[in-house]
Amino acid sequence: MVRPARGDSNTSAAVATEPVPGTAHGPDMAKVKAAIRGGTLAYFVDQFDIYLPIVVLAPAMGYFQSASISAATASLISSLVFASTLVARPLGAMVFGHFADTVGRKRTTLVAVAGFGITTLLTACLPGYATLGAWSVGLLIALRFVDGIFLGGEYTTAVPLAMEWSPKHKRGLYASIITSTSPGAYVVIAALTLLLLQVIPSAGPHSAYLQWGWRIPFFIGALLAAGLFRYYQTQVHEPPTEHTGAKHKVPFVRLLVSHPKALTQVFILMTGAWLATNMEAASTPNQLANHVMLSSKQVTLTMLVVNAVAMISYPVYGMLSHRIGRRNFYIGYGIGVTVFGAGSYALMMTSGHGLGAPLGYGVVLGLFTIGTYGPIAAYLTERFPADIRSTGYGVGYSLALIAPAFYVFYQRQLASVVPSHLTPALLIAIAGVLITVGGALGPETKDVDMSLDDAPTTG
């Protein structure tokens, strides 16, 4: 007798005994490994592309804007460049999730990868303010928006594909390996930017870095996309049909009508996750430069170390979620974000102007903000049934991006309540509450079986 997963009827599948990999009834381990490698590479390339404007363009935004604009306007433009990619991702998740659930995971992944690879290449070729005036930054924002659509499609297809190939007892670990490439990508970009700033002149509007040096990481991003496309084309296979389910004409409508509770619960959790992430990845570098008074090289070095430590923690979080349960993990981790994440940010901002203390507090900040993503790939794919899994994963992951993407506006409003440099700490505390509440509202999923045959009839 098949019973629903413990917690509520919205969960994606039922608890069942899973075939042992390598047996006649288990998955082909070569295909499993290829899918996990593909998901890991895809997530790395995705995150590499996402962080390009935050790290690489930060020292080069003068190329796209007038030298006479105010600091507030420059900060707003930088936030819009970052936000344009984020707000487009839910649209990409809906579009590509539809085709992943109706046409197939692999073919849809190939289209998404090709799309963001071409868009990244076009971004690397953009002319600047001296050539196009204000149109230059407008084109940059537009291309990042289009890029976000394809990026939203890429992880909507590649991650469920990898999880559907994964054995149940390994999903937490494999998910954390995949998502650990997010801070890993930040580390790579930060190291590359540090190297470029070290060997290429970057001072002044006519410096080599502002004119062409920033383009190098974008060209690298386009090359990575080309390599990822080739890998999926030749190595990765479509998951077993019993794990992908029947083909519905409108999976997004089915998600909204049949699984509103699951989507709402995931939305709450992911809103907290994205809000904490934006404070760590996007707001912290600006505050370190403008309030703690670190140099651009010191800021980049600090963020490199912070994300390197966070990357190492992801597999620990993934395995912990399998041992204690995904639900318990998110309830506890959200409390950690509120207490340790917000606390370490406040201490970092009041620690003086040296490098050592901000670096130490920054490491704690990384461990208790972006660690939410350790088991997230496993949790979200376990949360929705097979026939709408890509749509559920992509929309659940991406829809919550929109509100946190405009964090600059929230900080301006909160500045009337607390000092402006401490507004991120307050937002991190709020993010932790959302993660805890989101986790508590959901069921336990670690023992969910991906098989269609064991999926519940209600959801």
Domain locations along the chain: 26-234+245-454
- Homologous superfamily of domain range 26-234+245-454: MFS general substrate transporter like domains (1.20.1250.20)
Task: Read off the pLDDT of residues 38-73 as tens digits, 9 standing for 90 and up.
Answer: 999 999 998 898 888 878 888 888 888 877 777 777
Max CA-CA distance within the chain? 71
pTM of the model: 0.82
pLDDT for the residue numbered 406: 83
Task: Read off the pLDDT of residues 144-178 as tens digits, 9 standing for 90 and up.
Answer: 999 999 998 888 888 898 998 888 899 999 999 99
Low-confidence ranges of the chain (pLDDT < 50): 1-25, 453-459
Task: Read off the pLDDT of residues 323-379 as tens digits, 9 standing for 90 and up.
Answer: 999 999 999 999 999 999 999 999 999 887 788 899 999 999 999 999 999 999 999
Strand partners, 3: 15
Strand partners, 4: 14
pLDDT for the residue numbered 26: 54
Tell which phi-psi region holds residue 293, choosing left (phi > 0), alpha (psi between -120 and 50) or beta. left
User: Exposure string (b/e) for 145-178, b if CB count within 10 Å is 16 or more?
Assistant: bbbbbbbbbbbbbbbbbbbbbbbbebbbbbbbbb
CA 326 – CA 304 distance, rounded (Å) = 28
**DSSP H helices in 103-170:** 105-124, 129-132, 135-165
pLDDT for the residue numbered 241: 67
pLDDT for the residue numbered 247: 62
Q: In sequence order, what are the residues at sequence separation of 6 or more whose Cβ sits closer than 8 angstroms to the Cβ of residue 393?
A: 97, 156, 159, 160, 380, 381, 383, 384
